[in-house]
């Protein structure tokens, strides 16, 4: 058996099998798979392109609704089909309006969906009607045709809508008659009345179309009779809807339409009604209802009738419509104001909010009108005062939204009497403005009641006439702001502070009265409320003078943990007026304690000392020996200039000496030498003083400041004389000028940006000249890093500076183009990388430069330095002209590089033209104040977890704050870019300057020891899409700040 198996196996292996040639495999290059979103966009564009008005004439509700939904995204339509689309919509509207509910169900569409093939509910006529009414105003208002064509379409649409609405309202009236006669069935109800939502949408659509002409800024005096009749038509239908229909949807829409149209229809020609002046005398104004047209009175009567409707939504809409009438110039009668005041006690908060807004509007428009009081024996009050204390009564409302609305409305009423304002800060209620009984009347009542008098009541026999009205508080306004500032809700306290700020700015007496309440808000539990209280006090600081007890509460806020509050308190202290020298000394001591607690507040405290020295110079003069620790007979120890406490006190004294010159003789010799040092190191904080026996005087400073600009122009003129010089001489002079410009930028802060721009341009020219002067620069290993450095510097040169002149911008873009050309030549000849992206980048930069050079116009503000022809010659770059002429449509990297290589050598970069306005140039920069650079603290964290590091920085002259990024560089060469929140970037007083206060989250693995992590701010200007290594788009704004980070392993525990 084994032998047989062996022979069989040998026979099988001995056979020869010939296989035919295998078919060649086709190479399939994978393409980009279109995303679902892209496919949906293509499908939508195809559907919109195929849309025609014929789809609206289909008998199927499903097809018609699909066409309407497509039309919603297809607007604006072309002029050739727009008129057809409007006619198709109007015919569809008329056809559907006359149909009954029994004709709305389609048997063939019961299982067909509008957008798919899955089973769906049938499409009813009400759905189609609602979509027609919604899309019709959009098609007309977005028309590309002229205004006359829009008016014709609007008139036709309004006529059709009004006819349909009239039919629907008649059906509703018939239905109500049936309801009153017999019990209707559900079929009768549905057949007789259309959907309430459709009627509501139709009223709003007709109103927007009727008001189309004023929205297009057509003169009201030339309003056509047809458009006026359209407005009358819509207003008539709206009033009929208010009288007929009972559903709140329809009533709300009709009330809105009546309010919007009342102002334009009620007066002939749409002219504005003569609104009474606020400065007119009391009692001489006519009644607000007199002189009103009949249409306006009809609308106002309808609004007043619905102001007492049983539905709160209808009442709210009625009050909002009245406010629209007031804004349009239609004045409400006296009974309307009385009804609105009664609405402040409504059960629903939406009604009370609308009533508050309406009362505020009436008080703003006619605050001097007299209104009767509740008692007939008292004189009438001004409407502004009456409305003010009526709204004050809502400060104790149960709803938070009503209290917030009341607080905001209080600051919007102008012309409120001084005694009414002061009563809002009074907690005591002495009287309710009621008549006080006489002594005999009270005794008669006492005898009749059987009680006896204790004799402890003060002034029992004082009659009513001896009470003063100025010392009697009103019912509603007494303590209104007191309750608002003590409210339990944050929104109410914040709104009350805003109202106090507005009212106190216009009244010095009220500002002094509310000072104690604002200072008490410094102890609020919410940081935002405390910050707002400080800011409110800053706005009214010109009206107040701080006493010792008030100052104690303000200085206590310097211990707050939030730096933003402390800095605002510093600004407040620097801008306020102190009463005594004890207040000044307490303030200085509190600021010194602030430096000890929070050393990062030193820059803010220094600015505070400068402002306080200028404002409180007379008080500082009496405290100079105590502040500087000097003695008339004994020599004290010279303080160190490294102590921030001494620097701050010295800034206070020196700024006070600029206002009071008698302080200078009190200063010691070492103090005067310290003044010279501080004048050099802190020129923006130390004033210029006339100090004798010092080398520092006013004339020398003026000469230095005036000579810096001349020195800058002389340095640039040296470079313009190097046209035919050798490369070695160019490089030598470039190095010398670059060093001079760097020193100039550190010498004069006002010329720093211009000097930095010139120095950076000189450095880029130096790098370019060094590379091109060497014949074998393509074979050198260091050429790659030099080329990359040149590209990075030219990118900063173009984007980091603002305020440049036309010649400066042209030179910066010209050398940027040369840097990109040099990079392309190096990659094509000396590297193995792909040059397609570099070639495209170069060509994209070259095309706009031709248009920019053609559009350049010479500046006429520097006629003494250059003529007009010299300025034009300085702007023209021969390298750019030759490149654009030779390349044209060439896109191949090799050909472009071979063309550019001899041009770079033949056309060196031109020198900078004279800078016209060097002090107008600004440079984007940033300064990180926290974390500090000299901190040696080690931040420990558990590996893998997060560590929060507070970051505080000042950003200067950043045009795009959204491009700011926080760069985190770890010791393992890993770099992260963090986008700060937009709310953490706070704008400052200077344009394009911001304050960044945020928290940076750091994390890392286990390290054996503490290492440095660098934080810096950069400007990311990279375009959307994938990032390229060879083309950096980030600009460094600040120097990196290092901090020690030590991630430790997690401790194991049971």
pLDDT > 70? residue 118: no
Query: For 909-920, how does the pLDDT look when each residue is reduced to its tens digit (9 = 90+)?
Result: 888 888 888 888
> Which pLDDT score, from 0 to 100, does residue 96 have?
81
Query: For 63-76, how does the pLDDT look when each residue is reduced to its tens digit (9 = 90+)?
Result: 888 888 878 777 77
Instruction: Label residue 608 by pLDDT band (50, 70, 90).
Output: very high
Instruction: Label residue 88 by pLDDT band (50, 70, 90).
Output: confident
Residues 6+ away with beta carbon under 8 Å from 509: 418, 422
Q: What is the mean pLDDT of residues 21-41?
A: 53
> Which pLDDT score, from 0 to 100, does residue 209 have?
84
Instruction: Label residue 779 by pLDDT band (50, 70, 90).
Output: confident
Q: What is the mean pLDDT of residues 946-965?
A: 90
> Which pLDDT score, from 0 to 100, does residue 44 have?
53
- Tokens for 959? 């045009």
Residue 702: φ, ψ to 5°: -65, -40
pLDDT > 50? residue 35: no
More confident site: 918 or 703: 918
pLDDT > 80? residue 474: no
> Which pLDDT score, from 0 to 100, does residue 68 have?
81
- The Cα 330–Cα 203 span in angstroms is 22
> Which pLDDT score, from 0 to 100, does residue 287 have?
43
Query: For 304-358, how does the pLDDT look when each residue is reduced to its tens digit (9 = 90+)?
Result: 999 999 999 999 999 999 999 988 888 888 888 888 999 999 999 999 999 999 9
Residues 6+ away with beta carbon under 8 Å from 33: none
Q: 419, exposed or middle or buried, with CB in 10 Å at 0-12, 13-18, 19+?
A: middle
Count Cα neighbours of 645 within 13 Å in the Cβ-side half-sphere. 15
- The Cα 341–Cα 924 span in angstroms is 56
> Which pLDDT score, from 0 to 100, does residue 227 have?
46
Residue burial 269-287, b: 16+ Cβ < 10 Å; e: rest: ebeebeebeeeeeeeeeee
> Which pLDDT score, from 0 to 100, does residue 846 have?
74
- The Cα 924–Cα 760 span in angstroms is 14
User: Nearest-CA neighbor of 314 among 251, 374, 390, 375?
Assistant: 251
> Which pLDDT score, from 0 to 100, does residue 318 have?
93
**Number of C-beta neighbours around residue 903 at 10 A:** 18
* pTM assigned to the model: 0.72
> What is the side-by-side order of every strand in the sheet holding 947-956?
925-930, 947-956, 994-1002, 985-987
> Which pLDDT score, from 0 to 100, does residue 1005 have?
83
Listed in sequence order, the DSSP H helices in 623-726 are 624-628, 644-657, 669-681, 698-719
């Amino acid at each position: 058996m084994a032998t047989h198996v062996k022979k069989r196996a040998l026979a099988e292996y001995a056979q020869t099998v010939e296989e035919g040639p295998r078919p060649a495999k086709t190479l399939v290059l994978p393409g980009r798979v279109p995303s679902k979103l892209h496919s949906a966009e293509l499908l939508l564009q195809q559907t919109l392109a195929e849309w025609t008005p014929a789809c609206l004439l289909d008998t199927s509700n499903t097809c018609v609704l699909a066409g309407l939904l497509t039309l919603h995204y297809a607007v604006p339509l072309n002029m050739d089909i727009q008129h057809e689309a409007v006619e198709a919509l109007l015919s569809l509207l008329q056809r559907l309006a006359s149909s009954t509910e029994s004709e709305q169900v389609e048997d063939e569409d019961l299982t067909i969906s509008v957008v798919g093939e899955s089973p769906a509910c049938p499409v009813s006529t009400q759905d189609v009607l609602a979509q027609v009414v919604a899309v019709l105003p959009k098609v007309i208002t977005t028309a590309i045709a002229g205004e006359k064509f829009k008016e014709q379409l609007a008139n036709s649409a309004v006529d059709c809508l009004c006819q349909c609405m009239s039919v629907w309202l008649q059906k509703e009236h018939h239905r109500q008659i049936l309801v009153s006669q017999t019990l209707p069935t559900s079929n009768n109800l549905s057949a007789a009345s259309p959907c309430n939502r459709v009627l509501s949408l139709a009223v709003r659509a007709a109103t927007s179309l009727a008001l189309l002409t004023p929205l297009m800024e057509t003169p009201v005096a030339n309003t056509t009779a047809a458009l006026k009749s359209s407005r009358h038509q819509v207003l008539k239908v709206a009033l009929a809807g208010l009288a007929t229909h009972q559903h709140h949807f329809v009533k709300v829409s009709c009330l809105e339409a009546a309010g919007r149209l009342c102002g334009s229809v009620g007066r002939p020609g749409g002219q504005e009604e003569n609104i009474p002046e606020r400065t007119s005398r009391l009692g001489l104004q006519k009644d607000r209802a007199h002189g009103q047209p009949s249409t306006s009175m009809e609308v106002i009567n309808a609004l007043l009738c619905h102001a007492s409707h049983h539905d709160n939504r209808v009442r709210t809409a009625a009050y909002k419509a009245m406010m629209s009438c007031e804004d349009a110039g239609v004045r409400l009668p006296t009974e309307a104001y009385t009804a609105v005041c009664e609405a402040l006690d409504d059960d629903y908060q939406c009604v009370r909010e609308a009533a508050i807004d309406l009362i505020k509007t009436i008080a703003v428009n006619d605050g001097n009108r007299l209104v009767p009081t509740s008692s007939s024996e008292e004189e009438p009050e001004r409407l502004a005062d009456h409305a003010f204390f009526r709204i004050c009564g809502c400060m104790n409302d149960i709803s938070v939204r009503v209290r917030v609305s009341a607080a905001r409305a209080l600051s919007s009423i102008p012309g409120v009497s001084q005694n009414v304002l002061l009563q809002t800060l009074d907690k005591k209620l002495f009287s309710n403005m009621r008549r006080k009984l006489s002594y005999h009347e009270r005794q008669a009542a006492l005898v009749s009641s059987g009680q006896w008098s204790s004799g402890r009541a003060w002034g029992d026999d004082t009659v009513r006439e001896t009470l003063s009205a100025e010392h009697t508080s009103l019912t509603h306004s007494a303590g209104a702001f007191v309750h608002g500032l003590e409210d339990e809700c944050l929104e109410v306290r914040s709104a009350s502070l805003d109202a106090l700020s507005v009212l106190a700015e216009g009244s010095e007496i009220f500002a002094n009265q509310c000072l104690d309440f604002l200072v008490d808000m410094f102890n609020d539990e919410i940081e935002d409320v405390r910050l707002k209280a400080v800011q409110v006090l800053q706005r009214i600081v010109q009206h107040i003078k701080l006493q010792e007890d008030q100052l104690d509460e303000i200085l206590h806020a310097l211990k707050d943990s939030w730096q933003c509050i402390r800095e605002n308190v510093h600004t407040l202290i620097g801008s306020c007026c102190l009463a005594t020298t004890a207040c000044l000394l307490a303030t200085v001591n509190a600021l010194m304690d602030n430096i000890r607690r929070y050393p990062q507040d030193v820059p803010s405290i220094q600015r505070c000392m400068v402002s306080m020295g200028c404002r409180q110079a007379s008080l500082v003069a009496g405290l100079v020996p105590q502040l500087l620790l000097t003695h008339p007979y004994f020599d004290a120890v010279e303080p160190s200039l490294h102590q921030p406490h001494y620097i701050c006190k010295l800034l206070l004294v020196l700024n006070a000496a600029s206002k009071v010159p008698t302080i200078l003789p009190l200063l010691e010799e070492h103090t005067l030498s310290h003044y010279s040092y501080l004048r050099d190191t802190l020129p923006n904080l130390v004033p210029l003083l006339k100090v004798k026996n010092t080398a520092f005087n006013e004339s020398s400073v003026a000469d230095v400041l005036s000579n810096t600009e001349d020195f800058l122009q002389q340095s640039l003129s040296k470079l313009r004389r190097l046209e035919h010089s050798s490369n070695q001489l160019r490089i030598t002079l470039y190095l010398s000028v670059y060093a001079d410009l760097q020193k100039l930028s550190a010498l004069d802060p006002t010329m720093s940006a211009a000097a930095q721009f010139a120095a950076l341009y000189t450095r880029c020219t130096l790098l370019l000249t060094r590379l091109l002067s060497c014949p074998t620069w393509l074979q050198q290993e260091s050429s790659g890093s030099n080329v990359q450095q040149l590209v990075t510097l030219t990118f900063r040169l173009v984007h980091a500076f603002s305020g440049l002149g036309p010649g400066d911008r042209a030179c910066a873009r010209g050398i940027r183009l040369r840097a990109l050309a040099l990079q392309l030549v190096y990659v094509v000849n000396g590297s193995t990388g792909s040059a397609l992206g570099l070639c495209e980048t170069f060509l994209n930069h070259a095309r706009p430069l031709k248009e920019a050079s053609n559009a350049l116009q010479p500046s006429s503000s520097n006629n003494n330095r250059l003529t007009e022809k010299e300025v034009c010659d300085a702007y023209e770059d021969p390298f750019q002209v030759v490149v654009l002429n030779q390349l044209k449509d060439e896109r191949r990297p090799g050909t472009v590089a071979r063309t550019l290589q001899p041009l770079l050598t033949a056309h060196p970069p031109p020198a900078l033209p004279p800078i016209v306005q060097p002090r107008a140039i600004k440079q984007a920069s940033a300064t990180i104040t926290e974390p500090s650079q000299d901190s040696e603290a080690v931040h420990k964290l558990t590996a893998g977890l997060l560590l929060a590091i507070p970051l505080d920085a000042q950003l200067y002259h950043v045009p795009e704050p959204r491009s700011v990024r926080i760069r985190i560089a770890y010791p393992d060469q890993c770099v992260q870019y963090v986008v700060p929140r937009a709310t953490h970037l706070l704008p400052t007083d200077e344009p394009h300057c911001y304050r960044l206060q945020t928290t940076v989250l750091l994390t890392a693995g286990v390290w054996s020891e503490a290492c440095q992590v660098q934080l810096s701010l950069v400007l990311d200007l990279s375009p959307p899409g994938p990032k390229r290594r060879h083309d950096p788009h980030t600009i460094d704004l600040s120097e990196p700040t290092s901090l020690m980070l030590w991630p430790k392993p997690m401790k194991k525990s049971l």
